[in-house]
Amino acid sequence: MDGANIAKPGTRPWTTAIALTFLVFFGCKAEDPILIGFLAGTSGRVADLGISGRDAAQLAIEQCNQSGGVSGRKVRLIVKDDQHDSEVARQATQELISKGVVAIIGPMTSDMALAVTPIANNGKLLLLSPTATTESLSEKNDYFFRVASTTRNFASRGADFLIKSGRMHRVATAYDLNNRSFSEKWVENFTNEFTELGGRIVATVGIDALGNRNFFDFAKELLAAQPDGVVIVANSMDSALLCQQIRKLDAKVEIALSDWGATERLLDLGGKAVEGVIVIQAFDRSNQSPRYQDFRKSFMERYHQEPGFPGVNTYDAVQVLLTALRAQKKGQSLPETILSINQFEGLQSNFCFSRFGDAQRPQTSISIVRDRQFMVLE
């Protein structure tokens, strides 16, 4: 972000964007659609996040258009695949800005959010991420907002549960080297809480699925220190593959996963190897709220699969944006509008934003995999 666009202490950087916002949004003809960007990895190892998010965003926008759009204008989604590659993500963000989108839903991973936030800041464009939880973007006056809690909430909750339930005391941690802004901070937060409660970290192993080592070697390294538990901080595909190799070597060692790995693809790929695995997340698949049940029914009828937490979070993010577009007043930017509303009804829980755009959500939950389902323990 160049010096001209850096906010002074106590000011909002997005206030300089008001004129541009109104040229884009209010200066269009009534028949022109409102363009919303969607940026996520819809191919590769993190595609489960991106595809579920894309589908949920499209569903939300279709429902919006069926009910009259925003102030009588239709909304159109423009999807870009960032391929979980920083340079591709930057280029895609520039393309979305050039197309005149009013905001971008995404990215879905922390490394991609870090890569594109400076571009969004320079372009004075709102980024509203469903699932990027890195603390590196916390407490900043910028254009990055998110509807998910930060890594600290998830990691600390997981450490507290594992110690107090007596499941783990000597732990080996594995973290994904290809999304380090998320995984390293998650492990750091987990380690701080776990050791403070009396636990011990006996090994920490970086996992690079794109490198030369295989998952069996990673599993052997993790188990070499004879831990009573392994905590994996990786995407669902790599988490499933590592669980399979760990189970070949030790059928009884406890395994826990970060929130990132807890998608439906974990169940599909992991099979018996993920039975009994503990996951930390802010999502309850058995939630009975009418809003969630209606959404889940519509999503499954349309796409024939569970939305999972990526779909739920993305639907919430799109609803925040649509609500802000409907409520936006003359002289307000979208970030200012969101903060002025600041109470939103999510599919599973209500939430608000801090003044820096970080979601304030209820406490995270603990689930276990039983019979190829995520069952909430507490």
Q: Domain containing 52 — which CATH number? A: 3.40.50.2300
Query: What is the DSSP code (8-state) at residue 368?
Result: E
How many Cβ atoms sit within 10 Å of the Cβ of residue 68? 10
Is residue 81 in a domain? yes
β-sheet with 103-105: strand ranges across: 75-81, 34-40, 103-105, 126-129, 144-146
| Cα–Cα dist 104/97, whole Å | 9
Last residue of a domain, one of 281, 304, 330: 281
In DSSP terms, 127 is beta-bridged to 104, 144
- Summarised one tens digit per residue, pLDDT across range 141-170 is 999 999 998 888 899 999 999 999 999 999
Based on the domain organization, do 118 and 250 belong to the same domain? no
pLDDT of residue 7: 39
- For the segment 5-27, the average pLDDT, to the nearest whole number, is 45
d(C-alpha 57, C-alpha 317), whole Å: 8
Q: What mean pLDDT do residues 352-365 have?
A: 88
Range of the domain at 338: 3-149+288-360
* Residue showing tokens 């003359």: 330
Considering the domain architecture, whether residues 129 and 170 belong to the same structural domain is answered as no
**How many other C-beta atoms lie within 10 A of the C-beta of residue 118?**
17
Instruction: Please tell me whether residues 221 and 260 are part of one structural domain.
Output: yes
> For all residues of the chain together, what is the average pLDDT?
91
In whole angstroms, give the CA distance from residue 75 to residue 70: 7
Q: 181 and 144 share a domain?
A: no
**DSSP-derived pairing of the beta strands 359-360 and 350-353:** antiparallel
Is residue 334 domain-shared with residue 240, that is, in the same domain? no
Q: What angle do CA 345, 348, 350 make, to 5 degrees?
A: 35
pLDDT band at 365 (very low <50, low <70, confident <90, very high): confident
What confidence tens digit (pLDDT) does each residue in 310-337 have?
A: 999 999 999 999 999 999 998 899 999 9
pLDDT in tens, 230-286: 999 999 999 999 999 999 999 999 999 999 999 999 999 999 999 999 998 888 888
CA distance 11 to 18: 14
335 bridge partner residues? none
